[in-house]
Amino acid sequence: MAPILLIHGAWHGAWCWDRLIPVLTARGRKAVAIDLPGGGDDQTPLAEVTLDLYAQRVVEALEALDEPAILVGHSMGGLSITEAAERAPERVAKLVYLCAFIPRDGETLLSLAGESDPADVAMETIFSDDGLSITVADETIKPAFYADCSDQDVAFAKARLRPLAMKPGTTQVHVTTERFGRVPRVYIECTEDRAIPIARQRAMAAASAPIEVHTLTTSHSPFFSAPEALADILAGL
């Protein structure tokens, strides 16, 4: 069966998949998680982090696997897996967007996020003085990302969240029908998400049809709050 490559979203790192990977392994699926540049334990300076560098890191991880992988992107990770699929479609068995952004050609993270109703978004962000990065206000971290997660998981995550480089979010994604368009796509929607509201998730999935849709009744981080249910979907692909 195809290995599963897990790509984290904004502010996170490979650590966010720690609970999910053993569950997938128990179901007989090989799962690998990586840090994107500037995320997790990666020490790339924020001034050097770009969407191109994100995609390059994902393609390198795909090429290190023995066969084409199921490529899973969470949240902003949707941009990284989209760009990677455009560059190396032959290395991707399937794209999976986990309550993630699905950019169309020419779109940016900022343009996609701006299409949500601000009243439905629990997150408040703070820009750095040098304009290189953005963080999430501490009091909105739990309602935005981990509303249905345990206090232990929230503390674990808060200790590991890092500032997000600005450049990737302002860079246009470029995809083609011939390359990205030929890769089968799956969307896993999370109905209680307050970072990417369900209406925005469904609009993006509809705009990327044909796409297979699965539903979890969780907030933005089912890898913490519902790893068994998430693993059931991923292992069944």
Q: Helices (DSSP H) in 169-219: which residue ranges? A: 198-207
Residues noted as catalytic: 75
What is the arithmetic mean of pLDDT over 34-44?
A: 98
The C-alpha atoms of residue 195 and residue 193 are separated, in whole angstroms, by 6
Say how far apart CA 42 and CA 200 lie, in whole Å.
30
- Residue 168's closest CA among 57, 47, 50? 50
This prediction has a pTM of 0.97
The closest of 64, 89, 74, 80 to 3, measured between CA atoms, is 64
- Burial class from Cβ neighbours inside 10 Å (0-12, 13-18, 19+) for residue 135 reads middle
- Which CATH number belongs to the domain containing residue 180 in this structure? 3.40.50.1820
Domain that holds residue 26: 4-235
Condensed to tens digits (0 to 9), the pLDDT of residues 61-95 reads 999 999 999 999 999 999 999 999 999 999 999 99
